[in-house]
Amino acid sequence: MQYQESGRHSFMRKWLAALAGLTLALAGCSSTASSPAEPAQYPKNIIIMFADGASSTQWDFGRYSSTVLRNQPFVTTDVVFKEGSLGLLSTHPSDAYVVDSAAAGSAMSTGFKVNNAAIAVTRDGKSVPTAMEVAKAKGKRIGLVTTATVYDATPAAFSLHALSRRDSPGLVDQYLALEPDVLMGGGSDYFLPGGTSGGKRKDGKDIIAAFRAKGYQIARNTAELKAATSARLLGLFADEDMAFELDRDPAREPTTAEMAAAALRALSRDSPNGFVLLVENENVDTAGHANDAASLMHALWAFDEAVKVALDFQRRMPDTLVIITGDHETGGFSPTYALKDLSTLSSKNRFYTGDEQLRMLGRITMSLNRVKEELGRKPSGEVLDKLLAEHFPGFRLDPDLRELIINQGTRERNFTYLPQNLLGRMVARQTGYYWGTSGHTPEPAVVGAMGPGAELFRGYQDNTDFGRHLHRLIQGK
């Protein structure tokens, strides 16, 4: 039988030829597909928006929940990730596969790997220049904003040095010496001497007074922050970490967006050489440790409002680079499908998490960390039931979890935030928002960037590459 090319075969042949051409074209532009060594342009200002503990699942949850419950776009994904340069970062420290925020922040700030818990000090004991030190040496103004304590791992790793992130009073002393133009967040405890309200310093020093003596304006609540007019600003809004959105007193503690706006106002004053600003929402990480999906959602929305402030600033000042990133994933966050109960493994007894389950999360009005505080050292069943009825409408606590909460037990060795992880499991069983751990995971961090130099962050890189790009962009060479 004579071979006759059918219409289908000829179509296939053309298609294969086209595919070969496409492959060649892609191979030809592989040098532009990975990030270039030189930026086309250098930014005057750099704003680093940092959601501690956020990786791709958290970012997508922000997008999904914002669309369904707020009927609003999530600008992190819908604007910056879509229109900007997008990349991934591997996160391992020098001494493990799983990273902590000190080592991750140090790599991103310095371009060097360090051990977990170290702040910009390599494993051979060398202090390596931080992004904020380099910026200051270049004559740029610098600012650090966080919902954590200002001496927490991320802001510390972007500016200071310590063998251990736990040296809180020492880190505060270093801030006083470094003089960041803007420093905002929680953690007034290690600025004030023991014996004064919330003070924990053993050396009797009042570091707030010392900042004031150096010409800083001090803000201790939202109204004072909004009224601030100085170019140098110290804002301390909580003794320790600032509150979750669900628990926040708006008169006392400003939002991440309000802090970002105040920081940009202060830093853009008298700044011929521009500035570098780090704005961190730490509650994304804290919610992950607690396995608290509702608090995570509100923290992501609060972060995204601050991203809008940064993008508005960039529209007015186009020589500004806006970078959105996180340092690692927290919680092994796994929205999934699951059985409704253990009566049968049949797929008929299964639900896929969706809008209905998300709405249940949306009705929660208290963070799991706050529930822990309310329960106190000896959790009582009565107080627990009352809290759940009032703040977790529609949720039922299964007997196994209830018993573990009252007896203060854990189910596994990687669930150590108690009783929050058990309450997180209660939420998971009814909504499908499960968690794999109360710790960090090695899921690559996501980085999205818009503005001059954004192209350096494209592709799959290491978190030390992020640090190296940042130094190059700050130094303008």
Active site residues: 101
**Closest separation in Å from C-beta 440 to Zn ion:** 6
Interface with Zn ion (CB under 5 A)? 285, 330
Q: How far is 341 from 350, CA to CA, in rounded Å? A: 8
Place of tokens 């922000």: 62
Q: How far is 164 from 70, CA to CA, in rounded Å? A: 41
**Closest separation in Å from C-beta 289 to Zn ion:** 6
Q: What b/e sequence results for 31-63 when a residue is b if at least 16 CB atoms lie within 10 Å of its CB, and e otherwise? A: eeeebeeebeebbbbbbbbbbbbbbbbbbbbbb
Residue 238 CB: number of other CB atoms within 10 A? Answer: 21
Nearer to Zn ion, 98 or 163 (CB): 98
CB 448 within 8 A of CB 75: no
**Closest separation in Å from C-beta 216 to Zn ion:** 29
**Closest separation in Å from C-beta 101 to Zn ion:** 5
Nearer to Zn ion, 77 or 330 (CB): 330
Nearer to Zn ion, 285 or 465 (CB): 285
Nearer to Zn ion, 168 or 217 (CB): 168
**Closest separation in Å from C-beta 90 to Zn ion:** 17
- In the complex, which residue's CB is closest to Zn ion? 285
Q: How far is 165 from 173, CA to CA, in rounded Å? A: 13
CB 304 within 8 A of CB 74: yes
Peptide bond into 419 cis (omega under 30): yes
**Closest separation in Å from C-beta 330 to Zn ion:** 5
Nearer to Zn ion, 281 or 330 (CB): 330
Nearer to Zn ion, 222 or 330 (CB): 330
For residue 6, the Cα-to-chain-centroid distance in whole angstroms is 57
